[in-house]
Structure 1
Amino acid sequence: MSNPLQGAQFVLAAHRISQLPADHGGEVAFAGRSNAGKSSALNALTGHRGLARTSKTPGRTQQMVAFSLPPLVQGEGQPPLQVRLIDLPGYGYAKVPPELRDHWKQEIDAYLHQRRSLRGIVLIADIRHPLKEFDRMMLEFCFATHLPCHVLLTKADKLSRGPAMAALASLRKELAASGTQATAQVFSSSAPTGVDEARATVMSLLNTPRE
């Protein structure tokens, strides 16, 4: 199967949302705790091993990083849609000064509220652990603002199939009980598991304008 996310290229790393590419077209943002495997997931999805920086030291992503994708063909008479992936700073684990942590809280909040081209969130969470406070806050925000959210339960290769499927079922039950309109799947960047499904979801988000 061909990779619709192939051709992703680094554009820039922004310290403030005002430094991001022009706010038009469509983009999907990747969010998650610093040790959940966000960079590895981005690399697996794009088929570009060195696209996002991975490290044995969690928290290396301390800026908003923009990656361009090949433009999407639109309907007759419409120009191609400029699309991007945005890697948000990892949250909750990085050993950074309190003032920098506060800065990123403010910038991520501003990005989520103000970015008109944002069409969806891919939330990265380690399948071996319960959702953390940040994960729940992101899910609640997406629900309140009608922003689609897709959860990747990463590092599924660390579990056998039975426990992995049980973790997914538990999360889906929790999402349904809370009324949160998010989708979820198991994922492993190294196995690989669920990569095609996740790629299809990202493409669907990029192709679907916000309500």
Structure 2
Amino acid sequence: MLILASASPRRRELLTQAALNFTVESADLNEDLLPDEGAAAYVQRLAVEKAQAIWNRHQSHDSGGDPLIVIGADTAVVSESNILGKPVNAADARRMLQLLSGRTHAVLTGLAAVTRKGAISEVEITQVTFDVIKDSEIDAYIATGEPLDKAGAYAIQGYAARWIPRIEGCYFNVVGLPIARTISLLDEAAAGLAGS
């Protein structure tokens, strides 16, 4: 039994695209950055905490025949040491897009798989280059509403694609879930259960 510990419709779509059978549950956690916590440690910690929270809810249903695996993920956009989560409002979205304009930034996704054997986790990193964005274009983009629930205030698979001439790494990571790395992590978790 596989549970995706995420409310993200994009992650749900990507796991469905990978032909996996799963259910979805979100964990309501405090996502504040810890003092002196780096971006990679931050997304990895949140991925583990999300998966662990859902695992704890369902551990009594874990059976030998159909063992429970919970996958957690958390994505952050990092530009010049600034961790950009989801914008709190339109002004915050504008600030983020201005910070990304004409620069290369990193998108980090923490992944975790939790089973009765414990948690395994990884971080996927993709470099994304933005063209310079005019202020009028930023305003038009914000008016669509698309940036307001996205880490870094943009969706690579949406309107913002027009400003992204180049990426280095996994495209699906920027969407919200690196599929190949996720499958590899799930295979590792399943192998650990098979060996128990």
The alignment's TM-score, normalised by the length of structure 2, stands at 0.31
Structure number with the higher helix fraction is: 2
The alignment's TM-score, normalised by the length of structure 1, stands at 0.29
Q: Which has the larger radius of gyration?
A: 2
